[in-house]
Amino acid sequence: MCRWLAYSGSPVLIEQLLYTPVHSLIDQSLHSQLGAETTNGDGFGIGWYDETRKPGIFRSIEPAWNDRNLHELARHIRSPVVFAHIRASSGSPVQQTNCHPFRHGRWLFAHNGFIDGYFDLRRDLLLAVDPEVFRGIEGTTDSELMFHLALSFGLDDEPLRALERMAGFVEETGRRHGIAEPLQMTVAVSDGERLYAARYASGPVVNSLFVSADASSVRALYPDDERFAPFSEESRAVVSEPLGDLPGVWHEVPAGSALVVQAGEDEHVSFTPRSPSA
């Protein structure tokens, strides 16, 4: 289990997202409140978009809380679309290639959750990855494999539909192996233009997911809190768990639903796994 954050909006210093909030992701790396584990110390990663062609990523196997390079970069990198992830391994090795976010071309991907029985399913799941996309797999996590399945099932053209096909395929494969509830996930994916997030589980236990209220509502609630000043109306943070406990700032994303953060109105839609062969 892990914790992640995805932000889209006014360009911000990554420090404002990662270190400034009361219950920041750095705090969550030591004291997660809603995760399966309180400690998320098995590596971390950040990803960000700028004027260059591909998003940048910085990943490390150290715990986030005392990592000096992370704090340095967070003080110097400003970006309108930022991913951050702290990892608690559920069995795969602690290595950079297993740290989120994963990248393919313009796409970034982050995940919290797991595929139940993953080590039994892994070979079958790998075989379904498009051979062209296959060579991008460098690590051994279920998360990276889910990303490459989504890429194989049309992420470029229909992002949410491709995520639904990925979820459907994982469930099909799991059930063929006798796994009752194969999938547990909150995911974020972006091409730098839009931010897609989904919350889904095969069974009744669903990992938490929250999205921040629009900035004008937040500022109306907390007119004197200058931490909210830099954020435009369009700015949104999607997070595994709230970065603080101010009432009115964080809204739960319903289980079995997805979210598109974009210029203009955001979209809230249902999320239903479907067969990729359909």
When asked if residue 39 is in the footprint of its own copies (CB under 8 A), the reply is: yes
When asked if residue 105 is in the footprint of its own copies (CB under 8 A), the reply is: no
Question: Which window, 86-94, 213-221, 235-243, 259-267, contacts its own copies (CB under 8 A)?
Answer: 86-94
Classify each residue of 40-64 as buried b or exposed e, where b means 16 or more C-beta atoms within 10 Å of its C-beta: bbbbbbbbbbeeeeebebbbebebb
Q: How many CB atoms lie within 10 A of CB 225?
A: 12
Q: Which two tokens stand for residue 122?
A: 């892994």
249-253 — which CB contacts under 8 Å span 24+ positions? Answer: 249/212, 249/213, 249/218, 249/221, 249/222, 250/210, 250/211, 250/212, 250/213, 251/210, 251/211, 251/212, 251/213, 252/208, 252/209, 252/210, 253/186, 253/197, 253/199, 253/209, 253/210, 253/211
Quick check: 190 and 196 in contact, CB under 8 A? yes
Q: Closest separation between CB of residue 123 and its own copies, Å?
A: 5
Looking at 19, 20, 23, 89, which residue binds its own copies (CB under 8 A)? Answer: 89
Total residues contacting its own copies by CB under 8 A comes to: 47
Nearer to its own copies, 69 or 270 (CB): 69
CA torsion, points 84, 186, 239, 155, in degrees to nearest 10? 60
Q: Footprint of its own copies on residues 111-170 (CB under 8 A)?
A: 119-120, 122-123, 126-127, 131, 134-135, 137-140
Upper half-sphere CA count for residue 53 (Cβ side, 13 Å) = 2
Looking at 4, 7, 58, 196, which residue binds its own copies (CB under 8 A)? Answer: 58
When asked if residue 62 is in the footprint of its own copies (CB under 8 A), the reply is: yes
Question: Which window, 19-27, 29-37, 169-177, 232-240, contacts its own copies (CB under 8 A)?
Answer: 29-37
Nearer to its own copies, 54 or 274 (CB): 54
When asked if residue 44 is in the footprint of its own copies (CB under 8 A), the reply is: no
Question: Which window, 60-68, 194-202, 209-217, 229-237, contacts its own copies (CB under 8 A)?
Answer: 60-68
When asked if residue 73 is in the footprint of its own copies (CB under 8 A), the reply is: yes
CA atoms of 193 and 136, how far apart (whole Å):
22
Q: Closest separation between CB of residue 72 and its own copies, Å?
A: 5
Distance of CA 134 to the CA centre of its chain: 21
Nearer to its own copies, 121 or 187 (CB): 121
Question: Which window, 39-47, 149-157, 173-181, 244-252, contacts its own copies (CB under 8 A)?
Answer: 39-47
When asked if residue 265 is in the footprint of its own copies (CB under 8 A), the reply is: no
For 122, counting Cβ atoms within 10 Å of its Cβ (0-12 exposed, 13-18 middle, 19+ buried), the class is middle
Binding site for its own copies (CB under 8 A): 30-31, 37-39, 41-42, 48, 50, 52, 54, 56-63, 65-66, 68-69, 72-73, 75-77, 89, 93-97, 119-120, 122-123, 126-127, 131, 134-135, 137-140
